[in-house]
Amino acid sequence: MKTLPSTDVLIIGGGWTGLLMAKELSARTPASIVILERGRDRRPDYIKGMDELDYFVRMHMMQDPTRETPTLRHRDGERALPIRQYGAFLPGSGIGGTGEHWGAVYPRLQPDCFELHSATVARYGERKLPEDSSMQDWGVTYDELESFYARSEREVGVSGKAGNLKGKIIEGGNVFEGWRSEEYPMPPTPTPYFSELFRGGAKNLGYHPFNNATAVTSQDYTNPEGVSRPACAFCGFCERTPCMIGAKAQPTSVLMPVLKNRKSVTLRTGATVRRIVHDTTEKGGKARGVTYIDESGEEIFQPADLIFLSTFTLGNNHLLFLSGIGAPFDPATDKGTLGKNLTHQVAFGVQAFLPKPLNRFMGGGGTGVRISDFDADVFDHSNLSFIRGGMIGAMSVGTQPLSTFGNVPNSLKLPRWGAAWKKAAIEWYDNTGVVSFAGEQIPYRGNRFDLDPTYKNPLGDPLLRMTINWQDNERKMVDFMNAKMVEIAHAMGAKEVNAFAPYGDYDVTRYQSTHIQGGTMMATSPDRGVVNTYGQHWDASNLFVLGASTFPNSGSSNPTPTILALTYRTADAIVEKYLKRPGMLA
């Protein structure tokens, strides 16, 4: 195996988190930095036009599931099967990672999400904890993260309206959000008709609608690094595609323009990392470098002093399992931590059939109106049979004919084929909107990652296995929210509403969200988590894990603001503490 000269810093994965860490460290230290990304390179102008077939149907931005994919089962004792078709989640590959085709919705987590266990017990007592749940506090609080959230909003360029400015509640913003030290860098994106109908309906029912925060520009914007992006044109091609004009924040339009001028940074694409090589000594563990396969198929050893693992939740878990770093979690004994607390955000929608055309082909990522009245613990759960909640909203991100055609009111009792269905689907195409829900999944002992005993990837390595299912808490939450959403849709003037079917088992064929968390969760002690609150591995002090795999639980909010806030916090700790005195950060 070829061995390359050592580098000071090695970053595995070139998505939001990996590139942000490279940008921060290259600005503030003289360290040599190598980024290894398995996918291809992408320059900011790589996107030439929109093609629904290519991006939405064939999904050419996504990880190739014929080569790398997890297996999935609902419970212990079942044989897991590889997910060979795109379904419940859509991880990316190539420079920019999943952040190239993301939706850009940019909400912070509710403050009590970081203290899920203690906040729930304090308000309702131990008896309210769902059976077999494994909730625990993060060890870092919202207050500690606030300034990092604000920093990310300035850099990424977020449009929105504050609802809680230093404790002052502001109508029109999200009045239930955690306190913010500053207003959003840009005003909210304009409100499309469908979302405006939602605002009216929700208000009439006594709720508190607000324009969603989004990393899409509502006006021309230049961030503190001097990177400029134009105002969004609301072309309707946003989530699942990269942006043609750079209005949606993507790693290639926000971070790469800065990184490309940094001489200390080397970007190697087509480099698939296979193992993190590490030693365990009496003084503790240390990562020595990684082995990777380059584009020609050659296996290479890249030594490094400091390593960041930023390969999304699936990759982070997979590489730690394959490398044998950390003790796998065993639900039978409650021992070990690696793989524990896998969660997937609860996401579904009800279809509202409205009397007027909605012009839904126009829109932009994250554009729309939501309510947080049923989020987190904002509402009293004392007399409810579930805990926690989520946000209900009417987003206008743009719809495409091939991928969204075909919804008709259930009362027509039509099969999804034939002349009558086609006629009705055309008639209703632009009169159908989705009232959507994004909520929390409680972590359970049974839901976890490990290595699949049967299936392997083309390199001969075992696939990552997901054991995941919904439990009663999610099922009851969905029933409750479904009823609220149908009520709101009627208040919007819907002629008819198709409610969502009750939640059964976790459905891997329906896209839900690419908000998968956990497996390498943070904790304040090694017996409770894989990493500390800086993402530093408890068993290897020079190995840091970045991304949502470090979340002990899912929030209702989309994860990227929180993973970027945590990345800044880690970067500060590296520069201000670790590089001066390497070792475990206090």
Ligand X SMILES: Cc1cc2nc3c(=O)[nH]c(=O)nc-3n(C[C@H](O)[C@H](O)[C@H](O)COP(=O)(O)OP(=O)(O)OC[C@H]3O[C@@H](n4cnc5c(N)ncnc54)[C@H](O)[C@@H]3O)c2cc1C
Q: Which residues bind ligand X (CB under 6 A)?
A: 12-18, 36-39, 90-94, 97-99, 101-105, 239-240, 271-273, 310-312, 315, 319, 366, 514-515, 547-548, 558-560, 563
**Burial profile 462-477: b = 16 or more Cβ within 10 angstroms, e = fewer:** bbbbbbbbbbebbbbb
For ligand X, the closer CB: 94 or 439: 94
Q: Which residue is nearest to ligand X (CB)?
A: 15
| DSSP per position, 519-586 | ES-B-SSTTT-SB-TT-EETTEEEEEE-SGGG-SS--SS-SHHHHHHHHHHHHHHIIIIITTS-S---
CB of 566 to ligand X, least distance (A): 10
Instruction: Kindly state the DSSP code that residue 263 receives in the 8-state scheme.
Output: T
Burial of 390 (0-12, 13-18, 19+ CB in 10 A): buried
For ligand X, the closer CB: 236 or 547: 547
For ligand X, the closer CB: 366 or 433: 366
Q: How far apart are CA 578 and CA 42, in angstroms?
A: 32
| DSSP per position, 422-469 | HHHHHHHGGGEEEEEEEE----BTT-EEEEEEEEE-TTSPEEEEEE--
- The upper half-sphere exposure of residue 64, i.e. CA atoms within 13 Å in the direction of its Cβ, equals 8
Contact 162, 259 (CB under 8 A): no
Contact 158, 185 (CB under 8 A): yes
Contact 128, 381 (CB under 8 A): yes
Q: What is the largest CA-CA distance in the chain?
A: 73
Q: How far from 114 is each of 117, 514, 550, CA to CA, in Å?
A: 9, 20, 12
Which residues lie closer than 8 Å to 225 by C-beta, 6 or more apart?
23, 155, 257, 258
Contact 223, 158 (CB under 8 A): no
CB of 290 to ligand X, least distance (A): 8
CB of 314 to ligand X, least distance (A): 8
Asked about 515 being catalytic, the answer comes back as yes
CB of 583 to ligand X, least distance (A): 26
CB of 310 to ligand X, least distance (A): 5
For ligand X, the closer CB: 331 or 364: 364
Closest C-alpha among 183, 153, 188 to residue 168: 183
Burial of 370 (0-12, 13-18, 19+ CB in 10 A): buried
CB of 107 to ligand X, least distance (A): 8
CB of 148 to ligand X, least distance (A): 15
Contact 56, 402 (CB under 8 A): yes
CB of 462 to ligand X, least distance (A): 14
Closest C-alpha among 205, 361, 264, 209 to residue 11: 264
For the four alpha carbons of 302, 306, 312 and 318, in that order, the dihedral sign comes to positive
Select which of 101, 278, 381, 515 is catalytic: 515
For ligand X, the closer CB: 207 or 292: 292
CB of 172 to ligand X, least distance (A): 22
For ligand X, the closer CB: 93 or 533: 93
Q: How far apart are CA 396 and CA 364, in angstroms?
A: 7
CB of 520 to ligand X, least distance (A): 11
Q: How far apart are CA 302 and CA 437, in angstroms?
A: 44
Instruction: Kindly state the DSSP code that residue 500 receives in the 8-state scheme.
Output: P
For ligand X, the closer CB: 366 or 519: 366
Chain length of the chain? 586
| Residues acting as catalytic residues | 515
